[in-house]
């Protein structure tokens, strides 16, 4: 089949645009990430004198970095429409966010849609696969205090112990509020067949749009971060005494990400922008922590129910193009999430100015020393 001139021009334009976007992303990373690290190195004395203020500044810088990632998708036309409960109402409380996982773009989508949720982004902790430690953003997540978890039965028990220790050491000392995890333990396309086989063997529902979640990390987070009076579990250890002023986790935010036609956006598309503008739909449902059971068997059932509900939500979305109304409502209400282009340009400009400043400073010290 012959390629028309118009088709060739379209392919050429898409390729050129992707090349320019990739070059901008590389330049963005080369100035923004080193600047983040150098600012925090210089501020180490403040960390000793006033730890709370240090982590406040780190959180602001972290939010700006995530906004830069969000801008790559935003300027490519990858926008977000939100449904369900309004999570802004609990943005100042501690919450655990449970998210379904389809592709690498899920993380970018969350980075975008949480930007306008008050202090959430700068005070959040992410649980992510250990492979992300070796990406360009790995050093940032390490400094910020995110937790990298290794998948597989061979590592599972040890990882849960390490997660508990990590939460006790970093969560409250750095004034974290939200903790984000993907309980499915991997991408939908990789885990679906295994999950369906497990469901069939254990007489559980057959799921197509999500997989059955794993309990381990969720249980550790609840045991470690929920205040004793909330879930009835006994207190223990010095950490509880030190953190007695905290109300603990107060909410679980069940978050469901849906892509048109079930075609998720991956990180390559997010960066290169070769896909047509796409609206990603994000549905929230908020549960008070008192409604979340602490006992393993009951918690497993509760968690399974959340993903069975996600299956129903996604089935409805793929059939109708919209999420169903919340219980007690007759009509589903959506909210278009927006970002300020002026603000994004300002952050990007600051990153490049910072990069130039640090380059000049390092050049000066190099010449002084050598």
**Tens digit of pLDDT for each residue in 210-264?**
999 999 999 999 999 997 754 444 443 333 334 445 689 999 999 999 999 999 9
pLDDT tier at 5, thresholds 50, 70, 90: confident
Cα–Cα nearest to 260, from 274, 283, 278 = 278
The pairing of beta strand 147-149 with beta strand 178-181? unpaired
Q: In what order do the strands lie in the sheet with 251-258?
A: 147-149, 124-129, 178-181, 95-99, 251-258, 278-288, 78-84, 334-337
- 158 contacts: CB under 8 Å, gap ≥ 6: none
Q: Tell me the mean pLDDT in the region 109-133.
A: 91
Q: Is 106 exposed, middle or buried (0-12, 13-18, 19+ CB in 10 A)?
A: buried
User: What pLDDT, on a 0 to 100 scale, did the predictor assign at position 243?
Assistant: 43
Average pLDDT over residues 158-180: 94
Higher pLDDT, 230 or 2: 2
Q: What is the pLDDT of residue 2?
A: 61
Per-residue pLDDT band for 3 (boundaries 50, 70, 90) equals low
**136, 33, 22: which is closest to 354 by C-alpha?**
33
Furthest CA-CA distance within the chain: 74
**Local confidence band at 136 (pLDDT 50, 70, 90 cut-offs):** confident
Whether pLDDT at 70 is above 90: yes
| The predicted structure's pLDDT at residue 1 | 54
pTM for this prediction? 0.90
Q: How far apart are CA 96 and CA 283, in angstroms?
A: 15
φ, ψ of residue 92 in degrees (nearest 5):
-95, -5
The pLDDT value given to residue 134: 83
Q: Return the SS3 of 233.
A: coil
pLDDT over threshold 90, residue 101: yes
Q: Which distant-in-sequence residues (6+ apart) come within 8 Å of 13 by Cβ?
A: none
Residues 6 or more apart in contact with residue 244 via CB below 8 angstroms: none
């Amino acid at each position: 089949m012959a390629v028309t001139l118009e088709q060739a021009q379209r392919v050429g334009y898409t390729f050129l645009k992707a090349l320019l976007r990739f070059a901008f992303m590389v330049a963005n990373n080369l100035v923004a990430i080193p600047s983040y690290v150098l600012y925090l190195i210089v501020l180490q004395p403040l960390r000793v004198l006033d730890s709370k203020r240090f982590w406040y500044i780190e959180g602001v810088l972290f939010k700006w970095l995530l906004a830069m990632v969000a801008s790559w998708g935003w300027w490519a036309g990858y926008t977000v429409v939100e449904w369900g409960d309004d999570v802004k109402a609990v943005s100042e409380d501690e919450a655990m966010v449970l998210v379904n996982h389809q592709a690498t773009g899920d993380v970018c989508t969350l980075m975008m849609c949480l930007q306008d949720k008050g202090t959430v982004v700068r005070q959040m902790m992410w649980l992510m696969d250990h492979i992300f430690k070796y990406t360009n953003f790995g050093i940032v997540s390490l400094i910020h205090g995110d937790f990298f978890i290794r998948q597989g039965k061979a590592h599972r028990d040890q990882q849960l112990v390490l997660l508990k220790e990590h939460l006790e050491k970093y969560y409250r000392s750095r004034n974290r509020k939200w903790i984000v995890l993907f309980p499915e333990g991997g991408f939908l396309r990789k885990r679906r067949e295994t999950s369906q086989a497990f469901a069939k063997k254990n007489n559980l529902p057959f799921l197509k749009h999500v997989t059955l979640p794993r309990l381990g990390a969720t249980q550790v987070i609840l045991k470690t971060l929920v205040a004793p009076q909330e879930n009835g579990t006994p207190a223990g250890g010095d950490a509880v005494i030190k953190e007695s002023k905290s109300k603990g986790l107060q909410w679980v935010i069940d978050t469901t990400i849906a892509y048109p036609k079930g075609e998720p956006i991956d990180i390559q598309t997010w960066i290169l922008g070769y896909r047509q503008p796409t609206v990603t739909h994000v549905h929230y449902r908020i549960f008070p922590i008192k409604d979340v059971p602490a006992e393993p068997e009951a918690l497993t059932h509760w968690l399974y129910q959340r993903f069975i509900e996600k299956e129903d939500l996604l089935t409805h979305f793929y059939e109708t193009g919209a999420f169903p109304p919340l219980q007690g409502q007759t009509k589903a209400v959506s909210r278009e999430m927006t970002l300020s282009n002026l603000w994004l340009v300002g952050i990007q400009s600051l990153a490049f100015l910072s990069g130039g400043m640090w380059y000049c400073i390092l050049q000066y010290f190099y010449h002084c020393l050598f």
